[in-house]
Structure formats: C-alpha cells, structure tokens
C-alpha cells in the first residue's frame, strides 16, 4: 500500500471529482455551445464552476478562463503581456523580462519562446533570491522600471517557499510592467484575493489540488491586455477557442465545491501540525537532517531537506522500498540527476542541492495517513541504520558481474507473477536491490518464497553456484533495470532458467484489499 507524499507533483483525483468527471462524460455529456437542452445543461455546469472559482480566487471584475493547465495559462499570460509590450507606448522603453530565479521552468521557457517568436529581442533576466528562497526586492526595485513583464510565483513547488507578494507589489508601484504570479501551489493552501492586488495574470492547475490532469484556470485582471493563444470557434468568450474539457471542468468544480463547503481539506494549523509530525519522524530516522528552507516561510504542506553523506537518489529509493513516495525536487526534472536549480539559486551548498528530497502532502491529508507515513519513515531509518552504505557490501568477494555479458533473459510481468510462481517448483527469488532496501518488508506476493537478498555488486560471487544448481531464478529490483541486467548475465553464463520481473516492484499490482484511498491523499 502506497503512502503518497509527492502532492506538489500531482495529487490523486478526489472521489467526488472523479464521479463528477464521469457524469460529465457519460450522462451530462453535452457540448456547452449547443442550444438544445443537453447543451444548456453543460453550459450551466461550466457557468457554475466558473462562478465558484471566481469566488475562491477573488477574481472581482477580472476574467477567469479554463485552460488545459498552468503551462497553458503561463503561455497565454506571457503572449498577452508581450503582445502589449510590442505595441504600447508606455512600454516602449522596456529592456528586459524578469522572472524569479526559482520559477517553474515553464515560466523562463515561455518568456524566451514568445520573446523570440514576437521578435522583441528583450533580455530575459532572473530576479535573484536569497538563501531562504525569497526574491531580492532591491534588485526588483532597481530593474522593474525597465521591465515589460515581471513573473513571480506565490509559492515554490520544490521548497514550498511562500513569496512576499506584498513586498513585490510595493517594488512594482508606479511601474508600467505587467505582473504574472504563478499560483499553482497556492490554491487550497493560501488565501487568495486576486482582484484586490495589482496582479495581472495568475495561472492555476487542477491536478495539484485533486482535480484531473489537463484542466486549469487563468485569472486575467479586468484591464490587463489579452491575446488568445488559440483562435477558433470562439469558446470562453473568444478568450480560448476549442470545445471545453467538460470532464476536467466538472472534476475541478467538485474540488472547488469541497473547498468552499469545508470538511474535506485541512486548514493551515492542521497541516502545520502534520508537517511537524513528519519532520519529527524524519529527524529520528535520518540524524543530521538539514532543512533546505525554513518552516516559517514555507507552505505547511512541503518539506525539503538533505542529509549529509546520503545522496538524494539513495533516500528516494529507500523511501520507495519502504512504501513512501517522495521526490528529489520537481517531478519534471526528476529523471535528470542534476542538482536542483532552485536550491542552487538559493546558494545552498552543493551537497544540499544535490542531496535534496522533497516531501509534500496535499490539503486533504489526514491523521491516519500521517501516522502511517511516520511509522514507515521510522522503519526506513532503522533499515538504513542496520544496513546502510556505512556497512559496505555484504559479500566477501565484491566484484561486478561482467557488464558485457548480455544473454537473452526471459521476463515475467507483474500481473502474471502469481501464475508464474505456481508453475516454478524450486524457484529462487533474488532481490538485487541495495541491502537497506532488502531490510524493508516485501509485497505480499513474495511471502512463503525462498528470497535471497544479493545486491548487484555481490552477484559475481553467487552466480556460479546458481548456474551449477540449475534451479530457476527470478531476479527483481525496484524498476526492472538492474534485475534485467542480472538475468541477462546469468543467461549468458549458460543458466537457462533465468527470469526478470519486468518493471520491478513498481509495476507489481497491489492486492485490492490493500488499497485504502485514505492513504493516498
């Protein structure tokens, strides 16, 4: 059973939102542009969700349009602002486009893209942040008068650092530049009253708050310029053409209703208490843990930390083995091993930027989930203490298997595992993950089997005996990469009964009884 602590990357869809989305696909499936009753029903749904969203973000007289997500909202805002910069006399002297150094990549990339496409030739410059991730307001005050657009975020997705929007607004006083605030991580976590601010554009994303992926919102201040990203049938008052994503809008509407009605989401104090519980468990499990951003100025749902001597990837794999899903930073850059640019911008030491782990809960988190998460975090700490890298390899004769050995191995899919196991008498199952991962409980599917824990760098010593015994072997690891290598090497050594679990433990189906939706939020 998963404990999902990566809510800043995405969240599960709230059951009421899934039901609403399903109803919008199967029953109330009308096109809101149709004038018959089926269409009118769809129109009423859209109007209702928009009204609710307007209240929640405090849109006042501003416009609020549905988008496919924040990346589209950001493009639309940047295109709108830059088109105006090109034509407006009061912005003729603009020299640069400013963005916070810790912005989501969608922001600087959109600035560069539209700046080039519109032929503006402005300099795209990062506003530095201090060691706490807050914008350098002196830099902003100095450079804002020469800016065409200033982009900042309400809260950072990696660190949870909450921006000083009042300070930024003060620095932008009497400045002609437009101001976009990425509000993705703020929805449901911070109070919003957009029309009461000087903010011109504010993108939101549904999947960061329990709505489906592919639906978002863009707030546009009443007198801010607007250029549609998509022209066509004139939907969304011609602000965004294309038939509306009714399932997404219905799902988002259900989430927003839950937000307004209360009961589903925790308040700031409750979330802060959950975060402290998690931090206590982490500090116990990982002595020496250092926070990468202070609690006082971060969202109560986010913890970003590093542990001296323990690489980020090791910690992520350890937590994964312990049934706790965390990330090393933003999900978009998780596949790249590079240190976090956000933490580098905060001038944190290299080991902290390279060793960062992010743990984030959503506002629907509950006490049962947090308690279970803490228990698992402590179990991870115990596994690390007893079997961590400081203990070295467990084999007497460490030596990697010859990497050039790559015979054809056979693979078993997770969903075929039960059937496979039933037909392999004498099977030896080999867990090729690291010793600290072995030390954590295995999924139920492996109970009663002969499981050998043999990390990759110990396989060379164990392999000859396996070849001699001729017993069938099933290798597994976390994602299927290492186990395939191991099974291929054994096959190349002449072992004919060598299998890999394709996709590793990650793709192993969970028994239905183990799925408790409460633990996912």
Choose between 183 and 489: whose C-beta lies nearer to ligand PLP: 183
Q: What whole-number distance in Å separates Cα of residue 28 and Cα of residue 520?
A: 29
- Work out which of 205, 304, 360, 488 binds ligand PLP, going by CB under 6 A: 205
Phi and psi at residue 466, in whole multiples of 5°? -65, -45
Of the pair 71, 497, the CB lying nearest ligand PLP is at 71
Kindly state the smallest distance separating residue 209's Cβ from ligand PLP, in Å. 11
Contacts of 150 (CB under 8 A, 6+ apart): 98, 99, 127, 140, 144, 168, 172, 175, 177, 178, 179, 180
Q: Are residues 49 and 246 in contact, defined by beta-carbon separation less than 8 angstroms?
A: no
CA distance 306 to 159: 12
Q: Applying CB under 6 A, which of residues 17, 91, 182, 221 lies at the interface with ligand PLP?
A: 182
CA–chain centroid gap for 81, Å, is: 28
Which is catalytic among the residues 151, 183, 332, 374? 332
In the beta sheet, which residues pair with residue 359?
303
Question: Does 108 engage in binding with ligand PLP (CB under 6 A)?
Answer: no
Footprint on residues 281-310 left by ligand PLP (CB under 6 A) = none
Q: How far apart are CA 274 and CA 202, in angstroms?
A: 29
**C-alpha span between 1 and 19 (Å, rounded):** 23
Q: Which is nearer to ligand PLP, 189 or 495 (CB)?
A: 189
Q: Which residue is nearest to ligand PLP (CB)?
A: 69
Q: How far is CA 198 from CA 81, 124, 143, 462, in A?
A: 14, 22, 18, 67
Note whether 102 binds ligand PLP by CB under 6 A: no
CB atoms within 10 A of CB 264: 18
Q: Are 101 and 108 in contact (CB under 8 A)?
A: no
Contact window for ligand PLP (CB under 6 A) among 65-73, 193-201, 252-260, 505-513: 65-73
Q: Which CB sits closer to ligand PLP, 259 or 383?
A: 259
CB of 451 to ligand PLP, least distance (A): 38
Binding range to ligand PLP, per CB under 6 A, among 68-76, 93-101, 374-382, 400-408: 68-76
Place of tokens 């011609």: 238
Smallest distance from ligand PLP to CB 327, Å: 11
Q: Are 149 and 83 in contact (CB under 8 A)?
A: no
Closer to ligand PLP by Cβ: residue 68 or 312? 68
Size of the site for ligand PLP (CB under 6 A): 13
Pick out residues in 348-387 that bind ligand PLP (CB under 6 A): none
Q: What's the CA gap between 472 and 480, in Å, rounded? A: 18
Binds ligand PLP (CB under 6 A): choice among 75, 157, 163, 292: 157
Q: Which of 104, 134, 266, 438 binds ligand PLP (CB under 6 A)?
A: 104
183 carries an active-site annotation: no
Residue from 70, 94, 110, 111 touching ligand PLP (CB under 6 A): that is 70
Map residue 154 onto helix, strand or coil: coil
CA 479 to chain CA centroid, nearest Å? 19
Under the binding rule (CB under 6 A), the answer on residue 106 touching ligand PLP is: yes
Burial, 277: exposed, middle or buried (Cβ in 10 Å; 0-12, 13-18, 19+)?
middle
Residue 438 within binding range of ligand PLP, rule CB under 6 A: no
- Residue-wise over 284-320: b if at least 16 C-beta within 10 A, else e? ebbeebebbbeeebbbbbbbbbbbeebbbebbbbbbb
Question: Binding ligand PLP by CB under 6 A: which of 69, 133, 355, 363?
Answer: 69
Residue with smaller CB distance to ligand PLP, 159 or 197: 159
C-beta closer to ligand PLP: residue 110 or 286? 110
Q: Which is nearer to ligand PLP, 204 or 520 (CB)?
A: 204
71 is a contact residue toward ligand PLP (CB under 6 A): yes
Strands (E), 235-340: 290-291, 302-306, 324-325
At closest approach, how far in Å is the CB of 69 from ligand PLP? 3
The residue within the footprint of ligand PLP, chosen from 153, 343, 377, 502 (CB under 6 A), is 153
- Least Å distance, CB 386 to ligand PLP, is 36
Name the site residues for ligand PLP (rule: CB under 6 A): 69-71, 104, 106, 153, 157, 182, 184-185, 205, 216, 332
Cite the active site residues: 332
């Amino acid at each position: 059973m998963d404990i999902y602590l990566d809510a800043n990357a995405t969240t599960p869809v709230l059951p009421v939102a899934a039901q609403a989305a399903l109803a919008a696909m199967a029953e109330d499936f009308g096109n809101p542009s149709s004038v018959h009753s089926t269409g009118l029903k769809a129109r009423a749904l859209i109007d209702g969700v928009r009204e609710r969203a307007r209240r929640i973000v405090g849109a006042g007289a501003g416009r609020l349009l549905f988008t496919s997500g924040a990346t589209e909202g950001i493009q639309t805002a940047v295109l709108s602002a830059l088109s105006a910069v090109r034509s407006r006399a009061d912005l003729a002297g603009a020299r640069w486009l400013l963005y916070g150094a810790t912005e989501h990549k969608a922001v600087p990339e959109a600035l560069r893209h539209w700046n080039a496409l519109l032929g503006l030739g402005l300099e795209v410059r990062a506003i530095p942040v201090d060691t706490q991730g807050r914008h350098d307001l002196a830099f902003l005050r100095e450079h804002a008068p020469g800016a065409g657009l200033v982009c900042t975020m309400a809260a950072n997705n990696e660190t949870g650092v909450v921006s000083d929007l009042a300070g930024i607004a003060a620095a932008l006083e009497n400045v002609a530049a437009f101001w976009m605030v990425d509000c993705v991580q703020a929805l449901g976590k911070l109070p919003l009253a957009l029309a009461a601010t000087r903010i011109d554009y504010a993108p939101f994303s549904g999947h960061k708050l329990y709505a489906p992926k592919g639906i978002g919102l863009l707030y546009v201040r009443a007198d801010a310029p607007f250029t549609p990203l998509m022209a066509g049938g004139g939907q969304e008052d011609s602000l965004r053409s294309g038939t509306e994503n009714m399932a997404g809008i219905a799902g988002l509407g259900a989430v927003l209703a839950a937000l307004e009605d209360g009961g589903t989401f925790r308040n700031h104090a409750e979330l802060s208490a959950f975060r402290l519980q998690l931090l206590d468990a982490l500090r116990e499990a990982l002595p020496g843990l250092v926070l990468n951003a202070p609690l006082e100025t971060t969202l109560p749902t986010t913890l970003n930390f590093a542990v001296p001597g323990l690489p980020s990837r090791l910690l992520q794999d350890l937590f994964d083995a312990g049934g706790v899903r965390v990330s090393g930073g933003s999900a978009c850059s998780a596949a790249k091993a590079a240190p976090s640019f956000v933490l580098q911008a905060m001038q944190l030491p290299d080991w902290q930027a390279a060793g960062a782990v992010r743990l984030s809960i959503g506002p629907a988190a509950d006490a049962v989930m947090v308690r279970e998460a803490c228990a698992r975090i402590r179990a991870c700490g115990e596994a690390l203490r007893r079997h961590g890298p400081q203990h070295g390899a467990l084999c007497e004769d460490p030596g990697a298997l010859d990497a050039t050995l790559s015979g054809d191995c056979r693979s078993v899919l997770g969903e075929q595992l039960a059937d496979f196991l039933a037909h392999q008498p004498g099977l030896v199952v080999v867990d090729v993950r690291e010793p600290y991962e072995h030390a954590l409980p295995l999924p139920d599917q492996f109970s009663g089997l002969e499981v050998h824990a043999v990390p990759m760098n110990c396989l060379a010593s164990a392999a000859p005996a396996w070849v001699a015994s001729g017993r069938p072997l099933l290798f597994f690891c976390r994602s299927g990469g290492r186990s395939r290598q191991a099974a291929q090497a054994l096959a190349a050594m002449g072992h004919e009964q060598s299998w890999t679990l394709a996709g590793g433990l990650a793709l192993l189906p969970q028994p239905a009884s183990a799925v408790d939706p409460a633990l996912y939020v």
